[in-house]
Structure 1
Amino acid sequence: MNTTAIDLFAGFGGFTAGAKAAGVHVLWAANHWPSAVEWHTVNHPDAIHVCQDLHQANWGLAPAHDMLLASPCCQGHSPARGRANGNPQHDTSRATAWAVVSAAEYHRPPVLIVENVPEFTRWALYPAWLQAMGALGYQCAPHIVDCADLGVPQNRVRLFLVCTKSKNPLLLQLPQYPHVPASSFIRWDSGKWSPIRKAGRSAATKARIGRGWRALGKGRFLIPYYGSGSGLTGRSVERPIGTITTIDRWALVKGNKMRMLNADEVLAAQSFPEGFKRPTDHRLTVHMAGNAVPPLAAQRVIETVLRAA
């Protein structure tokens, strides 16, 4: 049987790439951002593409399908973007999850998989969202997953919410894969390296590298250029990298020189397959990749759902 799917908030195409690797035919993909739709089309030309605000979608124009994939905007839930700042965009972005309910009401596919940050389950309207899905006949099973456990070379903790037309929630027994180190995708002989002690280098960056030197020696390691976490004392490249975000975060240190990850390394850290096409613009690539579902994580979740459903 050829399983079919549609991809809501498809972005750069991580969910679609993972679904295709799992043997699922993605028929239709939608996103509101023209650049994301453009590059999704380049990499997945056999899908129908729609560029629009999914709050206003006419779901009758989307094809019937067996599986609905959705990665609604996570910025309103993620602590990384500072909800406490009172940005009204956060309230708007949280509301994108209701488009999933709207699509499910129209099409009633047997399976939905929603990816988001774990904080989605602490949204004030999450109980109401679950109630709406329940009214449509869905049982919803949340799975909090570190993508590194699925073989992605990155510690990235995400929610995969599996919604099925079943008597009981479908609780997955996800496979556990060995962690893949960051060294697997770093190209030490490429990129633009600069002296750590060059004029203009911030004191905070030099302090972070200094802590890395003391903890890991003057060899090769990673540091976060901003943010917090274990990388504040340097991060071994024999571990998965920390979470990839929508702006340059991770720097490589090699002796007395450093550089940021390049765009191809960012794609590899997100487990995009070799040959996946991207813009020449570094910032645009990093932004789209950082928003994406890691394809390998999506593939392994979908494969497990197909075996269990």
Structure 2
Amino acid sequence: MRGLIVDNFAGGGGASTGIAWAIGRNVDIAINHDPDAIAMHSANHPETLHYCESVFDIDPVQATAGKPVDLAWFSPDCKHFSKAKGSKPVSKEIRGLAWVTVRWAMMVRPRVLMLENVEEFKTWGPVIECPVTEAMRPCPERKGETFNAFVSMLSTGINADHPALAECVETLGLLDTAKLMKGLGYKVEWRELRACDFGAPTIRKRLFMIARCDGQPIVWPEPTHGAPNSEAVKSGKLQPWRTAAECIDWSRPCRSIFGRKKPLAENTMKRIAKGIQKFVFDAQEPFIVPQNVTLAPFITEHANASNQRNMPVDEPLRTICAEVKGGHFALVQPVLAAANICKHYGGNYSGPGDDLNNPLPTVTTVDHNALITSHMIKLRGTNLGFAMDEPAHTITAGGLHLGEVRAFFIKYYGNEQDGVACNEPLHTITTNDRFGLVMIKGEPYQIIDIGMRMLEPHELFACQGFNPEYIISNYNGKSTKKQQVARVGNSVPPPFAEALTRANLPELCIHTAEAA
């Protein structure tokens, strides 16, 4: 009998998607307490049985209806282990979510268990009350104590007086502790893996634990991708890492950082200045924005009907109504920032996004004189950002913190003043018409503007390794950008789950060609 595949803490469906890529079908059961997460998961995995409940409220025996379980996946909330959490008080309940793995192992004994979390999950230990703030904090002297006990319960057993045993029993409501003291007989291993090594364009690093009770060996997948300058890539053994650049929607405008109604924070401006210094001035080969993005003009209808229409420009125009004053059709032409570097001369540059009603000659100079570079900025932590030709850094669920910075250039012909260094806060240098001189591919250019925008949800999902067709909006009729970002930040990069499933359950998997 074919065993079930169960995704606990399913979120928006990252692990389920990767598993589905491997086995050629949707997972059988997905569990998550968040209605929004279940809505996204349901839209993308319609054949899955969904439980919108706490994992602690699910009876594994009832949920599986007596059928065997081949794989149970667990991605418990990681925020109370993550180093990105900062100094906020910890929650004992959330830190103990992984105990549900023990319940499934005891009650339905899945052939394979897989658990994903941040690297700091290995430090799981007791929490104590801070005598000053009365907030709960991990006990520094007992780091890893609960983690080791967790592994022991799954494998060889634990002493009756171990404090973690009481915590597990209390959390799960278990009365019979004999099985845990004896051990559940799983072989358990864990290892840290990076998503970029398995085909996702993000450096996201996670701890994975694999436990199995069927006597088969635990197999760790071999990386398929590597650093472009590594010998393995140069020799053709590995593919080069996928990069952030391939996930960026270059058709989206990048608003100037200058002249905003609400100025950017000073620290953000400093980050941008330092990023320009690092990724443009000091870079041997700055990343040049692709210029071959096709524009897609279309016709839109401004009528009073309830269903305004858009239509392509290469079809006959729809019926024109005389009643609409001034006509009701309009041409819409998406314009890239690259197509808007106008007014290159005379010190009157008006920034990207200039009106297309401007004289055409100011636009036609772009192909000859304009250049755009791009890099990523991080608005949290100490890291300034990263180059476009690297994998994206870890995406978190707390909000938008990855942005794109574009520097707009024109050719420098030597008839202007020397460029001004960009290693100072940008607000101190904006009075110059030409404020940055840089050599790019052997030719001098001057920066005439800098734009920054936060990444959109569809770009973040692409960075996380999801396919473009994955449904991330309107899955519940009212999804917001904040909800979408939360889903991607909490998600497992699908290539992780695919690689681990293929390595450990090859008999269930389809060939890669079939998956494609």
The normalised TM-score by structure 2 is: 0.56
Is the aligned partner of 1:212 residue 2:244? no
Instruction: Name structure 2 gaps, 5 residues minimum.
Output: 126-145, 156-182, 226-239, 282-372, 408-449, 474-478, 509-516
The 10-residue stretch of structure 1 (58-67 or 179-188) with the greater mean CA deviation from structure 2: 58-67
Cα distance, 1:110–1:46 mapped onto 2, change above 3 Å: same
Distance 2:51 2:215 in 1: 34
What's the secondary structure of 1:266's corresponding residue?
helix
CA distance in 1, matches of 2:214, 2:189: 11
Cα shift at 1:175? 2.6
- Stretch moving more, 204-213 or 167-176: 167-176
Aligned partner letter, 1:10: A
1:261 aligns to 2:455 (yes or no): yes
- Provide the residue aligned with 2:400 in structure 1: 248
Q: Is the 8 A contact 1:174 1:301 kept in 2?
A: no
Contact map agreement 1:182 1:240 (CA 8 A) in 2: yes
Aligned: 1:183 with 2:248: no
Letter in 1 for 2:487: M
Q: Distance in 2 between matches of 1:28 and 1:223?
A: 38
* Aligned AA (1:228): T
Deviation, 1:25, is 4.6
1:196 aligns with 2:200: no
The two structures, once aligned, show a CA RMSD in angstroms of 1.9
Counterpart of 1:72 in structure 2 is: 76
- 1:6 and 2:6 correspond: yes
Report which stretch shifted further, 56-65 or 69-78.
Answer: 56-65
* Residues 1:291 and 2:490 aligned together: yes
Q: CA deviation at 1:166?
A: 5.2
**Does 1:271 find its partner at 2:465?**
yes
Deviations 1:106-144 (A, max 9, x none): 110110111111111111111111111111111111020
1:140 and 1:169 in contact (8 A); partners too: no
Contact 1:251–1:261 (CA<8 Å) still a contact in 2? Answer: yes
Larger radius of gyration: 2
Q: Structure 1 residues 47, 173: CA separation in 2 closer, same or farther (over 3 Å shift)? A: closer
Instruction: Tell me the equivalent position of 1:152.
Output: 200
| Aligned amino acid, residue 206 of structure 1 | M
Evaluate the alpha carbon distance shift between residue 306 and residue 79 of structure 1 in structure 2; reply closer, same or farther with a 3 A threshold: same
Deviations 1:44-89 (A, max 9, x none): 110110011112221122223211111011111111112x4324xx
The answer to whether the 8 A contact 1:4-1:25 is kept is no
Alignment-derived partner of residue 122 in structure 1: 123
- Quote the sequence identity (%): 30
Q: Which region of structure 1 is more displaced relative to structure 2, 55-64 or 201-210?
A: 55-64
Whether 2:367 is the aligned partner of 1:306: answer no
Mapped partners of 1:92, 1:108: distance in 2: 24
Give the structure 2 partner of residue 107 of structure 1: 108
Residues 168/46 of structure 1: CA separation in 2 closer, same or farther (3 Å cut): closer
Return closer, same or farther for 1:300/1:29 CA change in 2, 3 Å cut-off.
same
Which amino acid in structure 2 is aligned with residue 273 of structure 1?
N
What residue in structure 1 maps to residue 96 of structure 2? 95
- Opposite residue 404 of structure 2, the aligned amino acid is L
8 Å Cα contact 1:151/1:180 also seen in 2: yes
Opposite residue 248 of structure 1, the aligned amino acid is: L
1:226 maps to a residue whose letter is R
Match status 1:226 vs 2:380? yes
Query: Do the aligned partners of residues 43 and 168 (structure 1) sit closer, same or farther apart at CA in structure 2, a change above 3 Å counting?
Result: closer
Higher helix share: 1
Q: 2:15 corresponds to which residue? A: 15
**Range moving further from structure 2, 257-266 or 195-204:** 195-204
Distance 2:492 2:249 in 1: 23
| Aligned length, in residue pairs | 302
**TM-score when scaled to structure 1?**
0.92
Partner of 2:56: 55
Q: Is the 8 A contact 2:26 2:47 kept in 1?
A: no
- 1:188 Cα deviation after fit: 1.6
